[in-house]
Amino acid sequence: MSDIFEGNRAAWNQALKYHQMARGQHLSTGFENPHFTTFNRDYDHVLLEKLNQLDLNGKTIAQIPCNNGRELLSLMRYGAKEAIGFDISDAAIQQARQLAQIAKLNATFTQANALEIPTEYNSRFDFIFISQGSLQWFPCLDEYFGVISRLLNDAGQILIFEIHPFAYFFDNVTSYFAKGPYNYPKGLDYFGNIEYDSSECFWFMHKMSDIINALRRSSIEIMEFDEYNIDMDGNLDTDLKDKFPLSYIIVGKKNSWLAMPTN
């Protein structure tokens, strides 16, 4: 298992160089503006509708994993007092710290495997954000959401805005039921779309039932679940977009009485 995560760390460190080339100075220049946000894609209106229903004022928030911090810093525009991001990639954390300094926001970033976040952060967070392309990197969602649950305080909430498992099926011609692991041999540059020989990395297929049941077993109550025909990667034919769920949002809260038995 350690080889899987070490391989993914190396692959993401490699990819961040290509992402930086594709973005140029867009983020560093943007975060000089106190009103700048990266939630400005055509489909982000569904996310913004959910965020506007939540109260992040004065809250301590996190994103796990956080990539280069751009989304977590954008979330702070909703009034959070403190933000902490965790990511396995050294290169991503380095960029995130630079952006936080430019933005002059109370955000810190820590390099860590999400499954190994120290216990000092237990019950620390009022809100945790999980974004596009996060869940596929964890072979066991019970372990991942178990960490998310222990980091939330008793009133803590989560928001997941993710690629629907059906979209992985169409995009990668992957079995909906075969867990993997799978690989991205041509690299992880989803910004510049440059293909290169990537360090070996490992991702895993999770059915929607896997996601929902892992949340419940981790004492996270699902308050809202919405599916959309939004293709977050922009790779599918128009005909497919109109027929299948391609993304989803889950809003949940910690509920210690909810945990399902595991046997």
CATH number of the domain at 239, please: 3.40.50.150
Amino acid at 198: S
pLDDT value of position 261: 54
pTM for this predicted structure? 0.93
In a domain, 177, yes or no: yes
Per the structure, the complete domain to which residue 74 belongs is given by 2-254
Does a structural domain hold residue 92? yes
The ranges of the chain with pLDDT < 50 are none
* Residue 242 pLDDT: 77
In a domain, 23, yes or no: yes
Residue 223 counted as domain residue: yes
- Distance from C-alpha of 3 to C-alpha of 201, rounded to nearest angstrom: 10
Tell me if 262 is assigned to some domain: no
> 198 lies in a domain?
yes
Number of domains in the chain: 1
**Can you tell me the distance from the alpha carbon of 133 to that of 21, in angstroms, rounded to the nearest whole number?**
21
On whether residue 63 sits in a domain, the answer given is yes
Percent of the chain with pLDDT over 70: 93
What gap in Å lies between CA 199 and CA 13, rounded to an integer? 9
pLDDT at 247: 95
Averaged confidence pLDDT in the chain: 91
Please report, for the chain, how many H helices and E strands are present, in that order: 9, 7
The confidence score (pLDDT) of residue 185 equals 83
- Structural domain includes residue 103: yes
Contacts of residue 160, Cβ cutoff 8 Å, sequence gap at least 6? 130, 131, 135, 248, 249, 250, 251, 252
